[in-house]
Chains A and B, each alone.
Chain A
Amino acid sequence: AQKITQTQPGMFVQEKEAVTLDCTYDTSDPSYGLFWYKQPSSGEMIFLIYQGSYDQQNATEGRYSLNFQKARKSANLVISASQLGDSAMYFCAMRSMEYGNKLVFGAGTILRVKS
């Protein structure tokens, strides 16, 4: 099974609307961390948000929130009030001891925000 699955190759969203980017993961390790990164066209990877497997509450960082559903092994990223500058590639990633405590990435989702 894929360790990290992002089923949406590309997404469009209207400016000022909210958008959810899907991510499911697979690990048998009870302790793991989930990450979201943004990669604009310039290429740099920008850390957005982190969720630990034992965290009681969903992580939030400004307009970013992580909809963590542990039983379903999903960690969807929600971007509220989309802005044109949110257009980028978004990667979901996981770190767990099962995979040698290395960061494992999904294939990514391209998000385009329309004005």
Chain B
Amino acid sequence: DVKVTQSSRYLVKRTGEKVFLECVQDMDHENMFWYRQDPGLGLRLIYFSYDVKMKEKGDIPEGYSVSREKKERFSLILESASTNQTSMYLCATLDREDNEQYFGPGTRLTVT
């Protein structure tokens, strides 16, 4: 079974803090994604990566950056957290053979 893990299920941070959200997968998938999920908006793509050290902006990259130093790990960084970044963050990988996207359990981030 594909396993996608995220470092925290729940996180509370203060405005202005630097926040790291970690995602690790164990299936050697090249493609990894970070989404945020907000009520009424569904999932929106923040960034994605199709290989080590490669990254592409998604639909809402502002206020975020990412790091992919190793194939299994894709990190989302909030350089200076703001209250409007309070959200559920979901990491995912893509198996290109069966076209299926596998999600992590999500991190619910609250910025106060």
Chain A interfacial positions (CB closer than 8 Å to B): 4, 6, 9, 33, 35, 37, 42-45, 47, 50, 91, 93, 95, 100, 102-108
**CB–CB A105/B42 < 8 A:** yes
B78 contacts chain A at the CB level, 8 A cutoff: no
Contact among A42, A91, A100 for B43, CB-based, below 8 A: A91
Where the two chains meet, the residues of B that have a C-beta atom closer than 8 Å to any C-beta of A are 9, 33, 35, 40-45, 48, 56, 58, 88, 90, 92, 99-106, 108
Cβ distance A22 to chain B, nearest Cβ, rounded Å? 14
Question: Is the CB–CB distance between A45 and B90 below 8 Å?
Answer: yes
Choose from B9, B41, B44, B103 the contact partner of A45 (Cβ within 8 Å): B103
26 contacts between A and B (CB under 8 A): A9-B40, A37-B103, A43-B9, A43-B88, A43-B105, A44-B103, A44-B104, A45-B92, A45-B106, A47-B101, A50-B99, A50-B100, A91-B42, A93-B43, A95-B99, A100-B56, A102-B48, A102-B58, A103-B33, A103-B45, A103-B92, A105-B44, A106-B42, A107-B40, A107-B42, A108-B42
